[in-house]
């Protein structure tokens, strides 16, 4: 066994696990690691100016690449700063090894400045959480943590690294990584039962979720949808491109409010959720989202999600890519000639309905294209028409995002990433992580002005590393989504039209000055044509750019 320091051993272990990037913001307890990086030519350190930025960059990188991301934070305050974005990473299932420097163990009994029980702090938001107490245990603990992060269902893990462990030297057996095969095939009897229910269905519908993207199962979902003539919805919380939106059976997003979901699902008699969320809701309601009599089939890689909120007639633990071919084949074998004819008629009618809905939405958007101030719907349609086919969109537009999944193409598994967890401030830094994962694809971030101010430091990282991301700020000078939600309460705000703490116009945020101070060129768009011209310019520039789009700031309660 070779003799080496803990800091050297840690980097060598990361290399064994395929890591070539560390996202971080250093402090005193990370200095041993930073010292080791000074003479290491294999791992690149990506600096963020605040820990929330660092965590969201890693989240975007892990989702886009499918690889392990590594984050290094600074003791308790650093971990605390990152917790909101760690929550988002947990919800997105991003495989991230989150590390934090800890004081030397001989010092910790005195409770020194910045000290805390780091594993306990992190534990609610990660799959595993521990601290290294002996250098000899470091390889086993690192390999175990990485295996856990990458095993389905994927997610972040946490490791506390005391300074004395990193500085110590000993004979260290680095051992080797372990990977858990992710292609879990669903139980055969359950698959056959699901096939029988789908073959008998009069009005089936599918929901596709993140497990489809992670399993690269777009073609398998499309094959089943085509066979059944069934529409496909995306889960209600924006996440990934879990189904090609250009497919003629793609019908939109389920939404996050129970009454709307229920009204949509009342059209169907069987609902098959393929890794889809059932359901993460934004507001309470007296109405359940699942209509009476609707039979639910649920396939997911996470047993916790199966029947979590609403009973599933058939619950299947399995990977969509591995399970759907067998299920589709079983459905095909069970369909009679009359059943196939019925499915063909159903599919023809559904395609016509969906085509009509899309045309109406696009027509409404184009009709608003000449209005000033800019209408968000018109802007999204114009952006969708401008983007190259291989563009990747990162979306945290919130109240300005209505219609985005119909109007902006996202057909492949790496073409769209959204804010699954709901903790705002994710979009700007996540776009940087996505660009690092997909350097050859154009990356565009569509982010609301309120969200952008949570992690505006991310712009500096984009400038420092010359990352070609176009940041589009959808600026309505308010927390408009909060106005919508408080108005829905039908209380004092709705009666008076006074929305406390929800306007960002006095003073207005100078996004151009802010971006330029952090090293980015920046321009303002006041018309849809301005916005698309600047977008094309930004993509062609080969570097980072910010576009501040002045949207209609009026709020008309519905």
- Report pLDDT digits (tens) over 223-241: 999 999 999 999 988 689 9
Please determine, for residue 55, whether its predicted confidence score (pLDDT) is greater than 80: yes
Q: Is residue 494 part of a domain?
A: yes
Number of structural domains the chain divides into = 3
Please determine, for residue 314, whether its predicted confidence score (pLDDT) is greater than 80: yes
Please determine, for residue 11, whether its predicted confidence score (pLDDT) is greater than 60: yes
> Among the three residues 105, 137, 171, which one is the final residue of a domain in this structure?
171
Q: Is residue 243 part of a domain?
A: yes
Please determine, for residue 557, whether its predicted confidence score (pLDDT) is greater than 60: no
Confidence class for position 558, pLDDT limits 50, 70, 90: low
In this predicted structure, which of 19-23, 101-105, 510-514 has the lowest mean pLDDT?
A: 101-105
Q: Is residue 232 part of a domain?
A: yes
Confidence class for position 85, pLDDT limits 50, 70, 90: very high
Is there a single domain that holds both residue 93 and residue 202?
no
Q: In the Cβ-directed half-sphere of 448, how many Cα atoms lie within 13 Å?
A: 26
Res 281: pLDDT: 86
Res 504: pLDDT: 80
Res 401: pLDDT: 82
Confidence class for position 506, pLDDT limits 50, 70, 90: confident
Kindly report the pTM of this predicted structure: 0.95
CATH number of the domain to which 238 belongs:
3.40.50.1220
Res 160: pLDDT: 97
In this predicted structure, which of 274-278, 319-323, 460-464 has the lowest mean pLDDT?
A: 274-278
Q: Is residue 156 part of a domain?
A: yes
Q: Is residue 227 part of a domain?
A: yes
CATH number of the domain to which 156 belongs:
3.40.50.970
First to last CA, the chain: 69
Please determine, for residue 121, whether its predicted confidence score (pLDDT) is greater than 80: yes
Please determine, for residue 157, whether its predicted confidence score (pLDDT) is greater than 60: yes
Is there a single domain that holds both residue 336 and residue 407?
no
- Report pLDDT digits (tens) over 389-444: 999 999 999 888 888 999 999 999 999 999 988 899 999 999 999 999 999 999 99
Res 34: pLDDT: 95
Res 536: pLDDT: 97
- Report pLDDT digits (tens) over 256-308: 889 999 999 999 999 999 999 898 888 888 899 999 999 999 999 999 999 99
Q: Is residue 181 part of a domain?
A: no
Is there a single domain that holds both residue 478 and residue 350?
no
Is there a single domain that holds both residue 265 and residue 293?
yes
Report, in angstroms and rounded to the nearest whole number, the Rg of the chain calculated over CA atoms: 25
Res 376: pLDDT: 92
Q: Which domain holds residue 278?
A: 188-355
> Among the three residues 115, 137, 171, which one is the final residue of a domain in this structure?
171
Q: Is residue 182 part of a domain?
A: no
Please determine, for residue 446, whether its predicted confidence score (pLDDT) is greater than 60: yes
Is there a single domain that holds both residue 62 and residue 151?
yes
Is there a single domain that holds both residue 26 and residue 142?
yes
Please determine, for residue 2, whether its predicted confidence score (pLDDT) is greater than 90: no
Of 22, 50, 94, whose CA–CA distance to 454 is shortest? 50
Res 283: pLDDT: 80
Contact 357, 222 (CB under 8 A): no
Question: Reduced to 3 states, what is the DSSP secondary structure of residue 278?
Answer: coil
Of 307, 492, 473, 502, whose CA–CA distance to 396 is shortest? 473
Please determine, for residue 206, whether its predicted confidence score (pLDDT) is greater than 80: yes
Res 399: pLDDT: 83
Is there a single domain that holds both residue 346 and residue 374?
no
533 Cβ partners below 8 Å, 6+ apart? none
Give me the helices (H) in 266-425, please: 320-334, 337-367, 376-386, 404-407
Is there a single domain that holds both residue 232 and residue 297?
yes
Eight-class DSSP state of 227: H
88 Cβ partners below 8 Å, 6+ apart? 56, 59, 419, 420, 421, 422, 423, 426
- Report pLDDT digits (tens) over 65-80: 999 999 999 999 999 9
> Among the three residues 117, 145, 171, which one is the final residue of a domain in this structure?
171
Res 555: pLDDT: 67
Phi, psi of 366 (to 5 degrees): -65, -30
Is there a single domain that holds both residue 204 and residue 121?
no
Find the mean pLDDT for residues 12-36.
Answer: 96
Is there a single domain that holds both residue 399 and residue 440?
yes
- Report pLDDT digits (tens) over 334-367: 999 999 999 999 999 999 999 999 999 999 999 9
Confidence class for position 13, pLDDT limits 50, 70, 90: very high
Please determine, for residue 483, whether its predicted confidence score (pLDDT) is greater than 60: yes
Proportion of the chain above pLDDT 90, given as a percent: 84
Instruction: Please give the Cα distance from 282 to 291 (Å, whole number).
Output: 18
Is there a single domain that holds both residue 167 and residue 205?
no
Q: Is residue 177 part of a domain?
A: no
CA of residue 49 relative to chain centroid, distance: 22
Res 510: pLDDT: 96
Is there a single domain that holds both residue 381 and residue 489?
yes
Proportion of the chain above pLDDT 70, given as a percent: 99
Q: Which pairs count as long-range contacts for 495-502, CB under 8 Å and 24+ apart, including other chains?
A: 499/555, 502/478
């Amino acid at each position: 066994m070779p003799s080496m320091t803990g800091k050297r051993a840690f980097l060598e272990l990361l290399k064994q696990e395929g890591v070539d990037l560390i996202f971080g913001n250093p402090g005193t307890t990370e200095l041993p690691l930073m010292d080791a990086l000074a003479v290491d030519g294999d791992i690149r350190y990506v600096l963020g100016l605040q820990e929330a930025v660092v965590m969201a960059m890693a989240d975007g990188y892990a989702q886009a690449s499918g690889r392990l991301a590594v984050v290094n934070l600074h003791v308790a305050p650093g971990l605390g700063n990152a917790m909101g974005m760690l929550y988002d990473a947990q919800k997105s299932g991003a495989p991230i090894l989150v590390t934090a420097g800890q004081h030397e163990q001989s010092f910790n009994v005195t409770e020194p400045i910045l000290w805390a029980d780091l594993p306990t702090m992190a534990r609610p938001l990660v799959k595993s959480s521990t601290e290294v107490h002996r250098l000899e245990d470091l390889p086993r603990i690192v390999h175990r943590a990485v295996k856990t992060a990458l095993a389905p269902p994927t997610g972040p893990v946490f490791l506390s690294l005391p300074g004395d462990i990193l500085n110590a030297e000993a004979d260290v057996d680095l051992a080797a990584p372990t990977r858990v095969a992710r292609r879990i095939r669903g139980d055969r009897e359950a698959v056959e039962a699901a096939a029988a229910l789908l073959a008998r269905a009069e009005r089936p519908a599918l929901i596709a979720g993140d497990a489809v993207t992670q399993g690269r199962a777009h073609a398998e979902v499309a094959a089943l949808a085509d066979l059944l003539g069934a529409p496909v919805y995306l889960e209600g919380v924006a996440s990934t491109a879990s189904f090609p939106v250009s497919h003629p059976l793609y019908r939109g997003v389920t939404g996050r409010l129970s009454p709307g979901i229920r009204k949509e699902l009342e059209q169907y008699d069987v609902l098959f959720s393929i890794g889809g969320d059932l359901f993460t809701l934004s507001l309470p309601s007296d109405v359940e989202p699942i209509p009476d009599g609707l039979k639910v089939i649920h396939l997911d890689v996470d047993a916790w999600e199966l029947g979590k909120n609403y009973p599933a007639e058939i619950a299947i633990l399995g990977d969509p890519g591995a399970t759907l071919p067998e299920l589709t084949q079983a459905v095909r074998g069970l369909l009679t000639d009359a059943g196939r004819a019925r499915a063909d008629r159903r599919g023809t009618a559904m395609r016509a309905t969906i085509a009509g809905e899309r045309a109406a939405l696009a027509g409404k958007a184009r009709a608003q294209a000449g209005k000033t101030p800019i209408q968000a719907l018109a802007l999204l349609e114009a952006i969708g028409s401008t983007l190259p086919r291989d563009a990747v969109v990162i979306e945290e537009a919130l109240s300005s995002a209505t219609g985005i999944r119909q109007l902006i193409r996202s057909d492949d598994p790496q073409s769209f990433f959204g804010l699954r967890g709901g903790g705002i401030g994710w979009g700007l830094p996540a776009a940087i992580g996505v660009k690092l994962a997909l350097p050859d694809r154009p990356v565009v971030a569509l982010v609301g002005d309120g969200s952008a101010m949570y992690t505006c430091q991310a712009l500096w990282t984009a400038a420092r590393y010359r990352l070609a991301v176009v940041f589009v700020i959808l600026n309505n000078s308010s927390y408009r989504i909060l106005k919508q939600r408080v108005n829905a309460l039908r209380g004092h705000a709705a009666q008076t039209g006074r929305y406390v703490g929800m306007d960002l116009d006095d003073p207005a945020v100078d996004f151009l000055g802010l971006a330029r101070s952090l090293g980015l060129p920046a321009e303002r768009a006041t018309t849809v044509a301005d916005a698309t011209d600047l977008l094309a310019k930004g993509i062609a520039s080969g570097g980072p750019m910010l576009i501040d789009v002045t949207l209609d700031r009026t709020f008309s309660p519905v």
